[in-house]
C-alpha cells in the first residue's frame, strides 16, 4: 500500500493521540478519566451542534448543550453513578428552555424548533451519557487494564478494517450508508481486535480470563463497527463528509470516537459478565 500524505497524517495523529490518551489513563487516575471523557464529549457535542442546529438561535443552542455537557461531566466527577438523575434533570431543563424560547419563532417554525429539541436530547444521550461508561469501566476491578485493552481493541479494529479493506476489500458491507466499507475490511477489523487481546493477555494482563478473550473482542468489535455505521448514517442524513477537521487524517471527534461511544456500554457489560 502506498504511503500517501493523507495516510501519513492519519498514522501520525493516531500514534500521538493514542499515546496521550493512554498516558492519561495510566498516570492520570480519576482526574485523567474525567479530563478524557470531558474533552471527547465536548468535542463531539460541538461538532454535533454545528451540524444539526440551523435556526437563528443556533449559536445560543450550541452554548446551551455545551453548558449542559460540562454540568453532567462535573456532577459525574463529584457524585458518580447518578446518570439517570442527570438524564431526567437535563431532559426537563431542555424542554423548559425550548418552551420559553419558542416565543422568538413564528408558529411556522415550531416544527423545526421542536426537532432541534429532539436533536439536543438525542445528542446528550449519544455523546455525553454513553461516554460516561468509561468511568464505569475504569472503576471495575483491574480497571486500568480493562480500559487500556478496550481502547487498544477499538483502535486495532479500526486500523485493521482500514488496511484490510484497502488491500482485500471487494464486497460492500453497507454501501447506501458507507460506500467504502467492505466485508473483508470488517473481518480484518475483528481479527485485529483478537490479535491485540491475545497479546495483551500474554504480556500485560495475565489475570484476564480466557473466556473474556473469546467473547469481548467479538462483541466490542461488532458494536464499534455498528457505531461507525451509525455515525456515517448521521452524516449522510445531514449531507456531511466529515464531522470536523481538528484531527488530521481522521476528520473530527465524531469521526474518531464513533466506535468508542457505541462499544463502551458493551465493554462494561462484558466486564460484568466475563471479567
User: Would residue 62 be called left, alpha or beta, if left means φ above 0 and alpha means ψ between -120 and 50 degrees?
Assistant: alpha
| Rg of the chain on CA atoms, in Å | 19
Q: What is the pLDDT along the chain (275 residues), one digit of tens a residue?
A: 556 666 666 677 667 877 888 888 989 999 999 999 999 999 999 999 999 999 999 999 999 999 999 999 999 998 888 899 999 999 999 999 999 999 999 999 999 999 999 999 999 999 999 999 999 999 999 999 999 999 999 999 999 998 999 889 899 999 999 999 999 999 999 999 999 999 999 999 998 999 999 999 999 999 999 999 999 999 999 988 877 666 665 578 998 899 999 999 999 999 999 87
How far apart are the C-alpha atoms of 248 and 11, rounded to whole Å?
9
Query: Do 247 and 13 meet the contact criterion of CB atoms below 8 Å apart?
Result: yes
The residues pairing with 172 across neighbouring beta strands, listed in sequence order, are 182
How far apart are the C-alpha atoms of 3 and 1, rounded to whole Å?
6
Domain spans in the chain, listed from the N-terminal domain onward: 5-274
Taking CA 253 as the corner, what is the angle to CA 251 and CA 254, rounded to the nearest 5 degrees?
90
Q: CA of 189: how far to CAs of 45, 171, 197, in Å?
A: 27, 15, 13
pTM: 0.91
Amino acid at each position: 500500500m502506498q504511503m500517501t500524505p493523507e495516510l501519513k497524517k492519519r498514522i501520525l495523529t493516531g500514534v500521538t493521540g493514542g499515546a496521550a490518551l493512554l498516558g492519561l489513563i495510566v498516570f492520570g487516575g480519576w482526574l485523567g478519566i474525567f479530563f478524557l471523557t470531558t474533552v471527547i464529549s465536548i468535542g463531539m457535542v460541538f461538532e454535533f451542534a454545528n451540524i444539526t442546529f440551523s435556526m437563528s438561535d443556533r449559536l445560543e443552542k450550541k452554548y446551551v448543550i455545551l453548558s449542559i455537557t460540562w454540568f453532567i461531566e462535573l456532577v459525574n466527577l463529584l457524585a458518580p453513578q447518578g446518570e439517570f438523575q442527570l438524564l431526567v434533570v437535563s431532559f426537563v431543563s431542555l424542554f423548559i428552555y425550548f418552551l420559553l424560547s419558542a416565543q422568538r419563532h413564528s408558529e411556522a417554525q415550531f416544527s423545526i424548533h421542536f426537532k432541534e429539541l429532539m436533536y439536543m436530547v438525542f445528542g446528550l444521550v449519544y455523546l455525553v451519557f454513553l461516554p460516561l461508561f468509561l468511568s464505569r469501566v475504569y472503576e471495575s476491578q483491574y480497571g486500568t487494564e480493562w480500559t487500556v485493552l478496550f481502547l487498544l481493541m477499538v483502535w486495532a479494529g479500526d486500523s485493521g478494517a482500514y488496511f484490510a479493506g484497502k488491500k482485500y476489500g471487494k464486497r460492500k458491507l453497507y454501501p447506501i450508508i458507507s460506500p467504502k466499507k467492505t466485508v473483508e475490511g470488517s473481518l480484518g477489523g475483528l481479527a485485529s481486535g483478537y490479535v491485540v487481546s491475545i497479546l495483551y493477555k500474554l504480556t500485560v494482563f495475565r489475570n484476564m480470563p480466557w473466556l473474556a478473550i473469546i467473547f469481548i473482542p467479538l462483541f466490542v468489535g461488532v458494536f464499534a463497527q455498528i457505531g461507525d455505521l451509525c455515525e456515517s448514517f448521521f452524516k449522510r442524513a445531514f449531507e456531511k463528509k466529515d464531522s470536523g477537521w481538528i484531527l488530521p487524517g481522521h476528520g473530527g471527534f465524531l469521526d474518531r470516537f464513533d466506535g468508542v461511544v457505541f462499544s463502551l456500554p458493551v465493554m462494561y457489560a462484558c466486564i460484568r459478565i466475563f471479567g
